[in-house]
Amino acid sequence: MVQTFDGQAVLGGSAWTIGTDVDHHLFRQLRVHADAVLYGAGTLRTDDVVVTTLPALQQRRIQRGQPPNPTAIVVTATCRFSEQVFAKKFFHRTDFGRVIITTPRAMPSDVARVQAAGVRVHVLAAGGDGEVSLEAVLHHLADTGARRVLCEGGPTVTTALARAELLDELFVTVSTRLGGDPASPRVITGPVTDRPLEPISEYHYRTEHGVREVYFRFRYPKERGDLRSTPAGQT
Ligand SMILES: NC(=O)c1ccc[n+]([C@@H]2O[C@H](COP(=O)([O-])OP(=O)(O)OC[C@H]3O[C@@H](n4cnc5c(N)ncnc54)[C@H](OP(=O)(O)O)[C@@H]3O)[C@@H](O)[C@H]2O)c1
* Ligand 1: centre distance to CA 147 (Å): 23
Residue 28 has a pLDDT of 94
Q: In the chain, what are the domain boundaries?
A: 2-219
Taking the CA of residue 132 as reference, the ligand 1 atom at the shortest distance is 28
Ligand 1, atom 13, residue with closest C-alpha: 154
Q: Which CATH architecture has domain 2-219?
A: 3-Layer(aba) Sandwich (3.40)
Residue 232 has a pLDDT of 44
Nearest CA to 104 among 127, 77, 80, 81? Answer: 77
| Residue 202 · residue 216 · CB < 8 Å | yes
Nearest CA to 146 among 134, 138, 154, 158? Answer: 138
Q: Where are the beta strands (DSSP E) in 10-159?
A: 36-40, 71-75, 98-102, 120-123, 149-151
Q: Which residues line ligand 1 (CB under 6 A)?
A: 1-3, 9-10, 14-15, 39-43, 46-47, 75-78, 127, 131-132, 134, 152-157, 160, 185
Residue 223 has a pLDDT of 78
* Per-residue tens of pLDDT for the chain, all 235 residues: 999 999 999 999 999 999 999 999 999 999 999 999 999 999 999 999 999 999 999 999 999 999 999 999 999 999 999 999 999 999 999 999 999 999 999 999 999 999 999 999 999 999 999 999 999 999 999 999 999 999 999 999 999 999 999 999 999 999 999 999 999 999 999 999 999 999 999 999 999 999 999 999 999 998 765 544 444 444 3
Residue 150 has a pLDDT of 98
Residue 225 has a pLDDT of 57
Question: What is the edge-to-edge ordering of all strands in the sheet holding 169-175?
Answer: 2-3, 169-175, 210-219, 198-207
- The pTM (predicted TM-score) of the whole model is 0.94
Residue 19 has a pLDDT of 97
